[in-house]
Structure 1
Amino acid sequence: MSSDKSSFSHLRYLLLFLSFGLNLFFVYVYSYWNQYHKSPPNTVTYPTFRQNTVENSTILLLWFWPFGLQTDSNICSTMFNIDGCFLTGDRELYDQAHGVLINHRDINSDLSNLPTSPRPFFQKWIWMHFESPENTRKINGLDNLFNVTLNYRRDADIVLREQIMLKSEHTEDAIFPQVLDKKDKLVCWIMSNWNERHERAKFYNELKKHIDIYTLGRHFGKEISDVEYKETLTRCKFYLSFENTNIHYDYVTEKMFNPLILGAVPVALGVPRYIYERFVPEDAFIHVSDFPSAQGLAQHLLSLDKNVEEYKKYFEWRKHFEVKLVRYPAEHVCRACEYVRTKKDYQVFNNLNKWYWDPIDQL
């Protein structure tokens, strides 16, 4: 009997020992899992490549989100029918990224906030910028960093800009001719960034001597909302689509296209007329160079104010064409990803500063 009790006692100690050992093992496993697989509290983790992409996805690394505006990583597929793109701001994926998109405005003058690791042989660096050279810092050291350009210029690698396109289907014009009944202003201008050195400021100062101009915007002490901006353009017969530069290639902005959309006739001051005509029908706008002086322009506008049939001719383009706007920044990053995904060839770009800042050769 004593022998049986002794055996039972030994078995009980053995079971206790095994139970204690198993508990230690599970505590160790739980601690290890927490340490390596659980995020610390109050931290933000980026999705990893293996978790969130499918095989053969193109990774586009946004080194800076343009103007801090982040987009849904699936937006390229849902909005632009561009499949196979993975957008991320996770710099840990730098070595795997097929493209790195960098907005010029975010670059430090000493380049200190750009990637420092060597660029993988398959990776493309994309320089993105849509301001005029007149309002852009020239940064030394950029010439040999980027091999792809994303810009409004027609000779950029990725061209993105507002466009006049054929109507996809015959639809009733929502603006014309109804807009004619709403017009109670002759010439309008909305101006915020005033610079006396700019040609547009000099021309305005001369033009206002010969015709009344309805002015709004921060410079004139009358800031307006987006809704007021649209309402104003609808009420104006002519809008001063004055750019801040007239010597740089292809710089035609929303100052031209917004009036076209909203039913005002743009009066353009900027690049030469022949460049405007690459993007806009020649009979859809007026160019200041069409007249020998500001006074001559004023007389023409006053004449059109009295001749409705002649004025209507500036809207003939709307029968067959419409304006396509750009979705910022979603379309920019998606077109960049599409380019990297489809263009596998080797390329370099070693004269960025000259290409962008040199003036038009022929005026």
Structure 2
Amino acid sequence: MRASTTVTIGVGATAAVLVAALVQGAGDDPVSTALSLTVPSQYKSLIEDAGHTCSEVTPNLLAALLTQESGFKPKAQSQVGAEGIAQFMPSTWQAHGIDGNGDGKRDVWDPADAIPSAAAYLCGIAKDVKDVPGDKQSNMLAAYNAGSGAVRKYGGIPPYKETQNYVKSIQALAQQPSGGKTATTTQAETAISVAKDMIGTPYSWGGGNASGPSTGTCCSPKGRSGTDISGFDCSGLTLYAYAKAGISLPRTAAEQYAASEPVKPGDVHPGDLVFYGSSLTSIHHVGISIGGGWMIDAPRPGTQVRYDPIDVMTDLIAVARPTSHGNKEI
């Protein structure tokens, strides 16, 4: 649909609201065919209906895509011009938008039009890339993000980091089983305590797992390697902290957002994960909120696990609470 859009819902005004709240508040068959993800009630029937448009699209997949695209915000607009709850570029909407509610208008800002349009567009893309090798649903999602031409050119998911994260994040969210529970206060307190114990541990690109600090991989965007450093990167630290609290998180920051439940600014609690990026599809950093406008994080190569103010970076995009799906609670 478009490449590298930057949704304004997470930066600027919304980021300021999140910062203020934090300071004050101290697949062959990869997804279910029934909607089990939590979505805003006013969109549930739209998603359930549109999620059966074709075999490659399911209600969970559609809900996950809308979560990633706009966070269910019908007036979201990106810096490159993508519009509405499904983030259609104007030219794409002109060609593929449908009158979903039968009122005689095709309105990109109306979820009753945009949600069924997104499903229909996904199905059309699935046909465009049906002969491309690899997982059909992954290729469909990659084409929604980067365009069918790019998927055909590269014979599958293009080598674009945003697109790769986009596909992984949506599928991780869509595959979450129903009945998940967000972290309890005790689990959040445990995760914070574990993270505090790691203060001073070196940053290692790709370092850290459920067992603790580990040597990392090569290489960061600036060429820094973690292969000879035992420590944590940002998501390695959060993964470890919550593993000790009985909750298993995926490895990357983008995947951890997809595996967590977004929290409204007024509901932020210590232990919630704080995410940074220019959009929900390009999250690059995560920390653990400890209240009072501070977090514990592993910032970047050459640093150590430490306390940082929430506004240490300007691209705060979201806060989310880790979700347990059958994991041990302590």
Q: TM-score, normalised by structure 2?
A: 0.28
Q: Which has the larger radius of gyration?
A: 1
